[in-house]
Amino acid sequence: MYGWVFRHLPGPMRVRVPLAVLLVLAAVAILLFLVFPMVESHLPATSVTVGD
């Protein structure tokens, strides 16, 4: 999958590498600021049973 994405980025190698880094950073930002906060309310983080 990563190879497919990298092959379909436009330009020479010196343009593809920054674009690939930008894509990774954008994916991380979307996960951290949009997806994880929405999913957090569905996780049972308040019912911890470790240490009983």
pTM here is 0.71
Confidence category of residue 17, pLDDT binned at 50, 70, 90: very high
The predicted model gives 22-28 an average pLDDT of 96
Q: Pick the residue with more confidence: 29 or 39?
A: 29
The answer to whether residue 45 scores a pLDDT higher than 80 is: no
DSSP assignment of 2-38, as one string?
Answer: HHHHHHHS-S-HHHHHHHHHHHHHHHHHHIIIIIHHH
In this prediction, residue 21 has a pLDDT band, given cuts at 50, 70 and 90, of very high
